[in-house]
């Protein structure tokens, strides 16, 4: 069998959640040997996500971890104020380490080859991306489209090695790479049990808070034709306007709340 890909996805309840998860699951259904770790930002598993996963046809693990209130973005806060999804990605890592430690024999041997990827629920992923990351020794990297106020950001490769990063913003961050732009081998996650995302990290430093304990720039494995191809896009979904819904609701004519959307 080809190496397994463990995909960790933080997700939270909002109007577009089921639409995002539907789109994402349809991508993942095309990827062999993919195990989806869905981590809800909620105090308990929701029925929407529970039922959705059960019907998805994917191999999955359903976790939940509520972001503490002081770390959560409040309505009206600028979106860059606090990192999103940090606690949930750490919860996914915790599950992986526990699962990895308990594995024995053949199963443990297979996990030696596995890879971990952090896939937000709203991005757009090409199928080719998963084949690029599948064979990762330590940390593999590639370009990300439509991110950081740029057409794309990417590691710059010279003589087969990453030597710097093409980014428009704070290029001096240890790893100016978007969450969607790297994958880590499970072995690396297991041998660095303290590596995690710092939920208090400064804007733009969340990825670095994790990666700087795992690798140096010299170790990075450039994928996607030496980082010349964009295979993932940092798309963002518009928040649906509920003007009419709210108006109708005031007259007792809102959409039936028993219908799941
Ligand atoms: N997320 C979350 N809780 C939140 C906000 C976001 O779990 O309160 C998840 C979200 O579902 C996504 C990831 O964290 O998978 C990144 O969030 P978002 O896409 O909003 O970040 P951005 O694209 O703005 O960087
Ligand atoms: Mn996003």
**Which of 41, 120, 238 to probe ligand 1 with, by most ligand atoms within 8 A of CB?**
120
pLDDT of 226: 98
To the question of whether residue 26 is assigned a binding role by annotation, the answer is no
Separation of CA 46 and ligand 2 centre (Å)? 21
pLDDT digits over 68-93, tens only? 988 777 777 776 668 999 999 999 99
Residue 100 near residue 191, CB atoms below 8 Å:
no
ipTM of predicted complex: 0.99
Which tens digits make up the pLDDT trace of 88-127? 999 999 999 999 999 999 999 999 999 999 999 999 999 9
**Secondary structure (3-state) at 47:** helix
**What's the DSSP call for residue 167?**
-
Q: What is the mean pLDDT of residues 171-188?
A: 96
| 3-state secondary structure at position 16 | coil
Beta strands in the chain (DSSP E): 5-11, 34-40, 59-64, 115-118, 124-125, 139-141, 144-147, 150-158, 161-166, 182-185, 221-222, 232-233
pLDDT of residue 80: 66
Q: How far apart, in whole angstroms, are the C-alpha atoms of residue 186 and residue 78?
A: 34
Task: Please count the helices (runs of H) and the strands (runs of E) in the chain.
Answer: 9, 12
- Give how far Cα 253 sits from Cα of 51, 241, 245, Å: 27, 17, 8
47-57 mean pLDDT:
98
Provide the mean pLDDT of the chain.
96
The CA 236 to ligand 2 mean position distance, Å, reads 5
Neighbours of 194 (CB within 10 A): 5
Q: Are 30 and 139 in contact (CB under 8 A)?
A: no
In this structure, is the dihedral angle defined by the CA atoms of residues 116, 122, 126 and 127, taken in order, positive or negative?
positive
Closest ligand relative to 197 C-alpha: 1
Coil, strand, or helix at residue 198?
coil
Banded pLDDT at 237 (limits 50, 70, 90): very high
Nearest CA to ligand 1 atom 25: 84
Q: What is the DSSP track for 223-250?
A: -HHHHT---EE---PPPPP-HHHHHHHH
Q: CB of 199 closer than 6 A to ligand 1?
A: no
Strand partners, 116: 6, 184
- Read off the pLDDT of each residue in 179-192 and give the average, rounded to a whole number: 98
CA 252 to chain centre: 39
pLDDT of res. 74: 74
Please count the other Cβ atoms lying within 10 Å of the Cβ belonging to residue 15.
Answer: 13
- pTM given for the model: 0.97
Average pLDDT of the segment spanning 229-233:
98
Whose alpha carbon is nearest atom 6 of ligand 1? 84
* Residue 88 near ligand 1, beta carbon < 6 Å: yes
Q: How far is the CA of 182 from the centre of ligand 2 (A)?
A: 15
**Closest of 170, 82, 185 to residue 135, by C-alpha:** 185
Q: Is residue 221 within 8 Å of 141, Cβ to Cβ?
A: yes
Instruction: Return the ligand 1 atom nearest residue 120 CA.
Output: 15
Neighbours of 63 (CB within 10 A): 17
Please indicate if the annotation marks 222 as binding a ligand: no
Mean pLDDT of 226-255: 97
Residue 184 and residue 173: Cα distance in Å, rounded?
Answer: 19
Q: Is 90 in the pocket of ligand 1 (CB under 6 A)?
A: no
Question: What is the average per-residue pLDDT within 31-58?
Answer: 98
Question: Any idea which ligand is nearest the CA of 63?
Answer: 1
pLDDT tens string 132-146: 999 999 999 999 999
Instruction: Tell me if 72 CB under 6 Å of ligand 1.
Output: yes
Contact status, residue 38 vs residue 59, Cβ threshold 8 Å: no
Q: Is 87 in the pocket of ligand 1 (CB under 6 A)?
A: no
């Amino acid at each position: 069998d080809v190496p397994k890909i463990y995909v960790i996805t933080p997700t939270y309840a909002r109007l577009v959640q089921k639409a995002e998860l539907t789109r994402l699951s349809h991508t993942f259904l095309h990827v062999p040997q993919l195990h989806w770790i869905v981590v809800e930002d909620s105090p308990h598993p929701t029925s929407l996500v529970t039922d959705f996963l059960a019907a998805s046809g994917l191999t999955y693990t359903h976790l939940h971890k509520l972001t503490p209130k002081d770390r959560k973005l409040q309505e009206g806060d600028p979106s860059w104020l606090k990192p999103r999804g940090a606690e949930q990605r750490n919860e996914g890592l915790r599950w992986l380490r526990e699962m990895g430690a308990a594995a024995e024999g053949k199963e443990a041997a297979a996990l030696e080859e596995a890879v971990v990827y952090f896939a937000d629920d709203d991005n757009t992923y090409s199928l080719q991306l998963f084949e690029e990351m599948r064979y990762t020794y330590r940390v593999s990297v590639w370009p990300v489209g439509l991110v950081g106020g740029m057409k794309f950001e990417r590691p710059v490769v010279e003589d087969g090695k990453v030597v710097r990063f093409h980014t428009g913003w704070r290029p001096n961050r240890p790893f100016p790479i978007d969450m969607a732009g790297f994958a880590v081998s499970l072995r690396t996650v297991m041998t660095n049990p303290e590596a995690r995302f710092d939920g208090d990290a400064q804007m733009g430093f969340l990825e670095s808070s994790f990666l700087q304990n795992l690798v140096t720039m010299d170790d990075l494995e450039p994928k996607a034709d030496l980082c010349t191809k964009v295979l993932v896009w940092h798309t963002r979904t518009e928040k649906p306007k509920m003007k009419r819904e709210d108006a109708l609701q005031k007259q007792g004519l809102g959409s039936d709340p028993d219908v799941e959307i």
